[in-house]
Structures are given as structure tokens and as C-alpha cells.
Amino acid sequence: MPERAVIAARPAPLPDPSGTQPAQRGTSPDIALIGIYEISKILTAARRLEITLANVVNVLSSMLQMRHGMIVILDPEGEPDMVATTGWTPQIASQIRARVPQKAIDQIVATATPLVVHDVAADALFEGLVDLFEPVERAKVSFIGVPIKADTRVIGTLSIDRIWDGSARFRFDDDVRFLTMVANLVGQTVRLHDLVARDRDRLIAETHRLEKALTEEAGAEPQTAVGIIGDSLPVKRLVATARIVARSNSAVLLRGESGTGKELFARAIHELSPRADKPFIRVNCAALPETVLESELFGHEKGAFTGALAMRQGRFELAHGGTLFLDEIGEISPAFQAKLLRVLQEGEFERVGGNKTLKVDVRLVCATNKDLEQAVAKGEFRADLYYRINVVPLVLPPLRERPGDIETLARAFLERFNRENKRRLSMSDSAVAVLMRCYFPGNVRELENCVRRTATLAREAIISSHDFACDTGQCLSAVLWKGSAPKAAPANQPSPQPPAPVPLAPVPLAPIPLAREPLPMTESNEAAGLPPNCPGTAACTATSPRFTEREQLLNAMERSGWVQAKAARILNLTPRQIGYALRKHGIDIKRF
């Protein structure tokens, strides 16, 4: 009778007939710990699942001296859907799938327990497949297989084979224990890949459905929404999409630069939806620390922390049946992302300090100006949360991409100012022309502030071009962005290019990113990474002076508190180059 068991008895160690050393007393604890560590690194890497599983098998074969490892992942019908072995490549994937020991795999899946076969040559489960295991002379080949589980369901198997001398029994219980741990890790990884794949497929299907509905119903309804002003094509398309999206309960992610009106579109989606008579609750995630944000969203029980004198409902409870708008969703911490994911997935949560599970029905609308794809790649934002909130993405264009809306928005803001202040101001065509030439890096918010500031300081009933700050050299946009206005060129000639930045010998100064530090005093917008027409009016006199190498170096040192390493980062140089430049220009280092 062939020897077959779940876990074999403990045998004595034997020398390896092939010259290698697989006949040790099972897998030693040190080797097992190192193997688990290396396998965990492989499973957390961002690769295709087939390649990840093949790398796991390679570790089992190389580090742990296990021969011919194989991972088989089953499809819903129980057939091998994915097979990874030592030396797996996409070219030989179909050939490997045809050589799976199906009977042994079926027994492991049916019993959901490990399987140990001491001699595959004498076992009926491997009839016709003995050549797969390459037996060594005077030695026997044993098979060890364990189930791969996701929760309680068997989704595949992990198997290896070992060489042992048939004259004595070999210890397999340590190998079974180790392979079971590896199989648990593999099962969780496969489950995570399946969840991400299903979310991605659902996102694609939802996007296609909405695009189809938008194509069919474009122009069927008036392209206006409460509070949204604009006649440009991008705005009309967004409003049409918002009308269709509002009918469902799908999560919406609003993306765009700061000041483009993301909260306005979130409110419009709520008011166009069947939830319009329910609450619209908004939360700025970047304005609150993590502990306070958790209490704000989930609420807290009395005595949950110091100062919690009474039970308080969270924003999720307050938004029950309505819409919850989470602004700056990209700024929440990874720890809080996991807590938020459960609410979005199950609709359940507990108040801080409580143990009662609450269930809510909330339509989620999120907004961010952060590159979430890059944040996911860096590990700063969870991929599963990204797919949950990015069901229907709406990208709001900046104001510079829809200049036709500037006049409409400006006159609407002036009318609102007149109503609030009981005045009767109007705007001349020359004033509108000034606004049309502006760049507005702050988008609609900056345009509104510009109109309100000009209307507040206007001395006459008609606002002209001379009433704007650009005419007196006090344009806030120019001061903020250190821009320089190019001279107007004839209609038949292109606008002149701004001068090149002044280099700091021997290494040229690189542009300083806006997101890292305040902009340095450079002689052109192009050097600062901004369009050359900011603020874009010929009347604007706010221009940046020319700075020498010494002055640029002094400016960087002052801004960095005379820390050479920080000044080097500002100027995109190395600390050694900063030291050379300081000595060259005779600048003494200030000591604090």
C-alpha cells in the first residue's frame, strides 16, 4: 500500500543520495522565519498575480530546498484557473496547466486538509505523472500539498515535493506547518487581488454606462444647474454628466485645482438627486486632525474621551438619507483610510467609545486636488479606498481653459455684491477686457475676490479698467506668483518669450516647485514654472527685478534660516555646491 497521510510520523534524518541536503530534519525555525519574511515581501509588491505566485514558488525551491513547488488557483467551477511553478513564464503557462496532478489537487480541495504522499511512484493519485517529479536513484520522491483558503473557502493548493530515502521515514510535520502558513498569506493576497479587480471592473462598467446615458440624453434637458454659472462647452458637459450621475447612488470623486468650484458641483449633484430633500453635510478632511476627524464623522459616546460630556452624532448619522461631501479626501491618514473603508463598503460603523453598530444610507461625494494615482503608487493612499470613492470621476477644468466664462462669472459676482451691499455698480467693456487677459491661477475663487475687491474700492458707479489693482501695480496675483507681464505684441506677431533664468555658476539653478517652498524671486514666470502671461494685463506693473547670483544665493540662505542643506534643496543643488558658491561670493555663514 502506498504511504499517504496528512502529517507523517517523525523520522530520523538521512543523507541525500543526490549530493544535496534536503534530508534535514524538516524546515528549521530560522530558515522558516527567513522564508516567511522573503515571501511576505514578494506578496506585498505591486506585480501581476501570476508573477507574484511564481516568485513565491521560487523562494520555496531555492531557500528551503523544496523541489518542484506548484501553486494552483481554482476558478468558481473548481478547475485550475492559474498555475504557477518554478521557472514559470507566460509562454509555458498553458503547458504547465495541462500537467497538474488533478487527482491530488481534487483530494486536497475536497477534504480542505493537507495531503502527504511518501512515494508518488507507488500512489494511484500520480499515475502517469511520475515523470514530473524527476526521482533520484536509490531515493523516493514525496509530495506535500496544503489547501489555500480565503476565509473558509478553498480557492487553491500549494504543493512541493522532497527527496527521501525509503529505508527510513522522514519528518514532514514541520514542512506541512510551514506550508500552511505560506498558504494563508497567499490566500489573503489572492483575495485582495480579486477585490481590487472586481472594484476596477465595476468602475469601468459604471463609467461606460454613464457615458452611454450621457450620449443618449445630451441636449434632452436644459444644461443648467442650481448655482453653476457658465456657458462654455466643458461646463455644459459637466452639468449634463452631473444630472445623470445624480440619479444613482454611486460615489462621485470631484477632481480639479483649488478654486474651481468642487463644492458647488457637489451641492448641485445633491440637489439634482432624489435625495434633494435630505441633508447635505460637508466636511473638510484637511482642516481637522485624525482624532477630531474620527469624532466628527462617526460621533462619540458620553465619556469616550476628556471633554465628551454628552453623546454626539457624527456627520454620517446627520447625513443619513442624504449626501455627505468629503473635501480634501486625499489628505486623510492611512490609519483613518482603513476606518473609512469599512463605512463605505458595509455602511456600518461605531461611535468613538461605543460598541453599538450603526447602519446608515449615505450618498458619498469626495473632492481632491491631489494626484491620487501617484499617492496610491507611493503607498500613501489605499488602492481599495481609491476604487471605492472613484466610481464616477468628474474633472473640473481650471478657469484658464474656459475663458468664455470669465465675463459671465464676473458680472454674476458683481450682481451678488450689489445685492449684499445695496449698490448699483456695473462693469464697463474695458474692465471686462482686463479680466479676460488675466491668468487667474486661483481660478473662480480668485476671480470672485478680484471683483469684490475692485467693487469695494470703486469710486464711481461704472467699474473701468483703471479701478483694478493691476493699474496701480498692486495686483495680488502678481505679488503671489512673482510673475512678470509680457508686453503686448502686434496681432500678426507671436508674443515675445520671457528671458532665461540667471544661472548660478558653475551649476544652473533649477525651477523651484510651487508645492515645496514659496516661490523665489526669479526674473520670469517660466523659470518659476508658471505661464508667462500671469497676471496677463498690459496695465500690470508688478514685475520682478533682476537678481544676481549672489542675491539669489543670499535669498535662499535667508529663507532656509542659513541651513546650507535646506538652501541646497531650494536651489536644486548639492550641499557641496552651496558651500563652493558661498566661498566664491565671500558670504559668511551666520551662526545662531
Residue 592 domain flag: no
Residues 40 and 87 in one domain: yes
Give residue 99's pLDDT: 66
Q: Where is pLDDT greater, at 181 or 516?
A: 181
Residue 539 domain flag: no
Biggest alpha carbon distance in the chain? Answer: 109
Looking at mean pLDDT, say which of 56-70, 77-91, 573-587 comes out highest.
Answer: 573-587
By mean pLDDT, which of 118-127, 158-167, 451-460 is the weakest?
158-167
Alpha-carbon torsion (125, 130, 132, 136), positive or negative = positive
Residues 78 and 162 in one domain: yes
Asked if the model's pLDDT at residue 376 lies above 80, the reply is yes
Q: Are 81 and 74 in contact (CB under 8 A)?
A: yes
Q: Where is pLDDT greater, at 203 or 547?
A: 203
Q: Number of folded domains in the chain?
A: 4
Q: What percent of the chain has pLDDT over 90?
A: 11
How far from 577 is each of 520, 521, 558, 559, CA to CA, in Å?
19, 20, 17, 18
Asked if the model's pLDDT at residue 518 lies above 50, the reply is no
Kindly report the average pLDDT of the chain as a whole number.
76
Query: The domain spanning residue 446 has which CATH number?
Result: 1.10.8.60
Query: What distance in Å separates the CA atoms of residue 147 and residue 165, rounded to the nearest whole number?
Result: 26
Is 88 strand, coil or helix? Answer: coil
Residues 234 and 373 in one domain: yes
Instruction: Let me know the angle formed at the C-alpha of 573 by 570 and 574, rounded to the nearest 5 degrees.
Output: 115
Give residue 325's pLDDT: 93
Q: Looking at 458, 481, 504, which one is the last position of a domain? A: 481
Q: At residue 249, what are phi and psi to the nearest 5 degrees?
A: -105, 15
Looking at mean pLDDT, say which of 139-148, 327-336, 504-513 comes out highest.
Answer: 327-336
Instruction: Let me know the angle formed at the C-alpha of 253 by 251 and 255, rounded to the nearest 5 degrees.
Output: 170
Residues 467 and 576 in one domain: no
Q: Looking at 481, 507, 541, which one is the last position of a domain? A: 481
Residue 335 domain flag: yes
Asked if the model's pLDDT at residue 509 lies above 70, the reply is no
C-alpha cell at position 5 = 497521510
Looking at mean pLDDT, say which of 4-13, 99-108, 410-419 comes out highest.
Answer: 410-419
Give residue 473's pLDDT: 67
Give residue 366's pLDDT: 94
By mean pLDDT, which of 336-350, 380-394, 512-526 is the weakest?
512-526
Q: Where is pLDDT greater, at 558 or 528?
A: 558
Residues 457 and 579 in one domain: no
Residue 509 domain flag: no
61-79 per-residue burial string, b: 16 or more CB within 10 A, e: under 16: beebbbbbbbbbbbeeeee
Residues 383 and 412 in one domain: no
Is 89 strand, coil or helix? Answer: coil
Query: The domain spanning residue 262 has which CATH number?
Result: 3.40.50.300
Predicted structure pTM score:
0.48
Asked if the model's pLDDT at residue 193 lies above 70, the reply is yes
Residues 426 and 298 in one domain: no
Q: Where is pLDDT greater, at 457 or 215?
A: 457
Asked if the model's pLDDT at residue 492 lies above 80, the reply is no
Please identify which residue in the block is written with the cell numbers 442650481: 226
Residues 225 and 331 in one domain: yes
Query: The domain spanning residue 145 has which CATH number?
Result: 3.30.450.40
Alpha-carbon torsion (558, 564, 567, 571), positive or negative = positive
Residue 534 domain flag: no
What is the DSSP secondary structure assignment for residue 504, as one 8-state letter? B
The mean pLDDT of 307-333, rounded to a whole number, is 88
Residues 376 and 410 in one domain: no
Of 323, 207, 329, nearest to 268 by C-alpha is 323
CA atoms within 13 A on the CB side of 286: 10
Strands 252-255 and 363-368: parallel
Residues 275 and 308 in one domain: yes
Residues 300 and 388 in one domain: yes
Q: Looking at 397, 419, 437, which one is the last position of a domain? A: 397
The pLDDT tens digits for 11-40 are 333 334 333 444 444 556 777 788 888 888
Residues 291 and 168 in one domain: no
Asked if the model's pLDDT at residue 514 lies above 50, the reply is no
CA atoms within 13 A on the CB side of 470: 26
Q: Where is pLDDT greater, at 64 or 365?
A: 365
Residue 415 domain flag: yes
Range of the structural domain that residue 89 is part of: 4-195
Give residue 79's pLDDT: 80
Residue 541 domain flag: no
Asked if the model's pLDDT at residue 274 lies above 50, the reply is yes
Would you place residue 534 in the very low, low, confident or very high pLDDT band (cuts 50, 70, 90)?
very low
Residue 494 domain flag: no
Would you place residue 63 in the very low, low, confident or very high pLDDT band (cuts 50, 70, 90)?
low
By mean pLDDT, which of 68-77, 415-424, 481-490, 567-576 is the weakest?
481-490
Please identify which residue in the block is written with the cell numbers 524671486: 521
